[in-house]
Structures are given as C-alpha cells and as structure tokens.
Structure 1
Amino acid sequence: MFYFRDIGCLFFHPGSRYILLLLLGFFHQPAFSQTEVVVAAEVWAPMIYFGKDGKPAGSVVEFIDQMNKVQDHYKFKFTIIPKLRLNQVFLEKRADVYPFRTTVWTKKELNLLPTKTIVSTGDVYIARKDNKYGGKAVFSDIPSKKIAGVLGYHYGIFNQNPDEKYIKRNFHAELLPSDEEVMKFILIGRAEVGIMSEILVGAFMQDQAIRNQLIVSNTADARVDLSNLVRADGPISVADMNAIISKMDSMGKIEKYKKIMHIGEFVH
C-alpha cells in the first residue's frame, strides 16, 4: 500500500520524476468549472427590475436563479441592459440568453432561437369600473374606443403592427412610454380602454386602491408563447436549455411561477 510519507522516497527511485509529475498533476486538478451564460433583458417591472441593493430582482430573475439550482453545468448570470442598447449587446455576443421572450418581438439579425415554451400569456384590456358604457360593456367594439398602449409594442387590436403612424391613422390611440403611464391614463380617465400584459395587471391589482377602480376583460387581446431565447452560436444549446426547462417543469417550479405572475388569473 502507498502512503503519503513514501512520497519523499520517490525522489531517489528510478523513474520517480514521472510518478511525481503524475501525483502533482492529480493534486492540482482544477475544480469543476461551470460554463457561464449571460442572461440579459431590459427592465420589465415587477418581473425584472433593480432591487434596493442595485442588483437584478423580480420573478423572472428568481426563475433564472432557480435554473442555477437545478443543475451544475451552467452558471446563469443575469444582467439588466437599457432597452435601446439590448439588441446591440446581443449582436456583439456579450449576452447569450433573452429570458421570457418570443421571436415575434425580436429582430431576426439577433440570431436568437426559441426554446420550448415556458409560459403562454397575453395582454388583456383594462378600464375604469365607473366608465360611461356601464361596466364591462366598455369592452364591446374596442376599436371604436380611445385606447392606451405602449409605444413600440405589438398588440392584436392593432394587427400586431407597432408602427405609430399606422396606429394613429387607423385608431384613436394614445401611445405612451411605459405600462405605468397606461395605467395612469386609465385611472385618470384620459383613455377608455388600456392594453396591458396580464402579468402586469395582476401585479398592479395587488394595490387595493387600484383594484377598487379597475375592471379587466375576460378575453385576451392576443396570446403569446414565451421561452428563453438562446443565441445560436452561444455557450448553451437549445437542447440543453430545453432539458433545464423540462426539469423545472417536472419539479413543479413553472406552475409555481405561473401563479406568482398571475398567468390565467383573468383569462382562462
């Protein structure tokens, strides 16, 4: 049997230098290193935002963190990039995954590939309860109403065309810089119907004051399948990402996040 105290004898044994090199190589093997994958997205509060410590926070960020916990081959690192710079970051290959996204909303030149669907969600219509049409009657013939949405977004009511000139020409619409502004326009009566992700509506309605004033349509403006878009020539393949998503699903984690994100709360 070989003991560590016998290592000294190896210096005087023929061929010992070769044995010693093997031993030194064994003891100096690097620890298992994970492949780093950069996950990048813009602010999408309350799913993605900067926490009080200045670090990424929100339910999507937590979901990515769970992906780190269910496997040890990849290390997913989340970073928030301003929306106007995000495409360039992917083009320069400084980011590898665009989470909870659809290729319908992304440019082809980014070369991002969809994984299996994580969640199917959509936009819903919102209005004040005390509208002049009488409750949910406001959601009848929506194209004739004064509509508030976010500039640059794809909406079913606008035929998935985000062009401001097209929308202004064909609809009575206010296109605003954020969903927060859409909510404000509805609450102060500057628009009759607002369009917003069911995820955001659910988050806003955690505020009882907003819940008391708001009604939500039972039908969706449009539905979309969200997945983790993977850079085609990046460090993780679609197949590997699908395997991680499948594992998350089998552990019940995706169903948990659907509830956290209010998916299916208004439209069934």
Structure 2
Amino acid sequence: MKSCFAVCYAKNSSLGGSKVSLSITLLKSSLLALCMAIAAGAAHARIKVIVATDSWGKLMYLDSKKVPRGDLADFVNRMNTVQNKFHFELVIYPRLRLDRIFLDKQADVYPLRTIAWTRPEHGLLPTKTIFTSGDIYFARSANRFGGHQVFDELTTKTVAGVRGYHYQLFNNNPDETYIRKNFNAYLIDSNEGVIRFVLADRADVGIVPEVVMAHYLKDPKVREQVIVADYYDSQVELSHLVRKDGPISVEQMNAIVDLLIASGDVKKLKAKLRIQTYSSPKK
C-alpha cells in the first residue's frame, strides 16, 4: 500500500502538471490573439497623407506649440473623422517654401486652393469645388484720399500684398521683380502682416482673402479702422489640390469632400467664414 505521502505527492504532481499545461495553453491563446490583433491593425492602418499650406491669418496658423489651429485647420482635420482609410497630417509652411515642398513631392494635398495659382510642374489636380471666394481690397477708414476714393485708380496707390500670391491688380504675375517694376507695391510674408502694414498707415491699400478679413472684422475695433472695396481683386473656386502621383487620388478625395458636404462641415465652414457677395472684379 502506498503511503499517504506518496499518494499526496502524486496528486500534487498531477495537479501541477495540469496547471502548467493550462498556463501554456492560455499563453499560446493570448499570443495568437495578439498576433491577430496586430495583423488586423496593420491591415486597417490608415494611409498617411501630408497636407501642406501656408498661414491664413487666424483661420490657419501655428500656435505657441507649433500646432496648426484655426477654422481652416479644423476643417482639414475633420477629414480624419469622416472616414478611416486615410490619415491627413496638416503642416504649415512659409508661402514661398510651399512651391519647393510640392516640387520635391514632400506633400500630397494643397487644401482650399485654386489650380489657377499653381504651376504645372507642381503636378496638382483639383477636386470638386468646395466653395467660391476671392481677394478683396481694404484700406484705413482715415486714409488720405477721403474714404472709399482710395479704391479709385489703384495703380496710382501704394498697395500691400503677400509675397508669391497671384493678384489680378498685378496681372496675376507673382514675380517680385515684375511687380516692383510696374507697381508701387509692398510684398509682405503673410496676410496678417498685410493687415498690420496697412493699419500702420504704411500702404494705402491692402489685398487679402475675404475670409481672412471677415475674421478680423469680427473685432469692433478693427471694423472702426477698416473700409473694404465693394468689388473683388479676383474671385476663384477653391478646392483641395491633389498630387497626381501621391497616396490619394482625386476620386478618393472627392469622395471625402462629399462626406464633408453630407456631414454639414462645408456649410458650417462657410457660416464661420461669413463669405459674402461682392461685385465681380473690375476689368
């Protein structure tokens, strides 16, 4: 007859072996589940798309931590919410550096832009129109010409605009040498810089996107200082421009634009920008 010790030892050994076997089985199951989760995650990983633009006053700017902020930045970031195939990473560059960024294929999408303002060698293709907007003329209320007369015969006035931009007043030629030779112009690095420049009485007239000016006019103090011409410098259809050999196609981006329209994001953006109707550009 086996001793009690022997019986107990045998039972404990058997129980211990079962525990080890169970632990190994559970470990294998956990590892298998982890591998499946990783594989599934890899299969559903979003495709990275670099969205590059310049600043648009307080509508698109870098905060103190160099994070893009503003209503336009929020609109771009909404593209990450309405779908789950692509991840859009927004980057803000100085205006003149953007051309090189797209020429070197370091970015894939130029948001809310018109193809009329880009060079063919950039290889950018437009999506469907998101909204129509334009550049407007503005001046100080207390200008030396007596109110809105400052907008008469603009070629005789000092005019401030953004370096590298296309303006009808300057025959849509962004070349600085051409502009300085043919116009009494000041070229500034940003739209907000143009507004500050004119309000400091350093130029008679400024040209900025209407959506940028609309944001500034929300401030009662600015409204007292500024008058706006009743016609555009130019008016264009804005869309997202897509690099033709990039990670996302125009068709895929159009589908995302449709989602933004269906979700009400485009309508909300227009309301925030308070886009209004001015007269057509003067010929």
| Local SS of the residue matching 1:190 | coil
**Alignment CA distance shift 1:162-1:74 (3 Å):** same
Deviating more after overlay: 200-209 vs 121-130: 200-209
| Local SS of the residue matching 1:70 | coil
**Alignment CA distance shift 1:76-1:266 (3 Å):** same
From 95, 100, 112, give the equivalent of 2:107: 95
Q: Summarize deviations over 1:86-127 as a string: whole Å, max 9, x none.
A: 333333433211111122222222211111111211111111
TM-score by length of 2: 0.78
Deviating more after overlay: 112-121 vs 141-150: 141-150
| Matches for 1:21-170 after TM superposition, within 5 Å | 27=36, 29-31=39-41, 32-170=44-182
Q: If you compute each CA radius of gyration, which structure gives the higher value, 1 or 2? A: 2
**Alignment CA distance shift 1:242-1:148 (3 Å):** same
From 172, 175, 188, give the equivalent of 2:184: 172
From 200, 203, 206, give the equivalent of 1:188: 200
Question: In the alignment, does 2:260 pair up with 1:237?
Answer: no
Aligned position for 1:4: none
| Local SS of the residue matching 1:123 | strand
Question: In the alignment, does 2:222 pair up with 1:210?
Answer: yes
The whole-number CA distance in structure 2 between the counterparts of 1:78 and 1:37 is 9
Question: In the alignment, does 2:268 pair up with 1:253?
Answer: no
**Alignment CA distance shift 1:132-1:82 (3 Å):** closer
Identity of aligned residues (%): 43
Query: Structure 1 residue 85: deviation in Å?
Result: 3.7
Deviating more after overlay: 36-45 vs 192-201: 36-45
Tell me if structure 2 keeps the 8 A contact 1:202–1:265: no
Q: CA RMSD in A?
A: 2.6
Aligned position for 1:15: none
The whole-number CA distance in structure 2 between the counterparts of 1:176 and 1:106 is 19
Structure 1 portions without partners, runs of 5+: 1-7, 9-19
Give the counterpart letter for 2:164 in structure 1.
Answer: G
The list of structure 1 runs, each at least 4 consecutive aligned residues, that deviate by more than 6 angstroms after superposition, is: 23-26
The whole-number CA distance in structure 2 between the counterparts of 1:136 and 1:193 is 11
The whole-number CA distance in structure 2 between the counterparts of 1:157 and 1:24 is 64
From 224, 248, 262, give the equivalent of 2:236: 224
Structure 2 portions without partners, runs of 5+: 1-20, 22-28
Query: Structure 1 residue 240: deviation in Å?
Result: 1.0
| Local SS of the residue matching 2:253 | helix
> Counting helix residues as a fraction of each chain, which structure ranks higher?
2
The aligned length equals 248
**Alignment CA distance shift 1:138-1:85 (3 Å):** closer
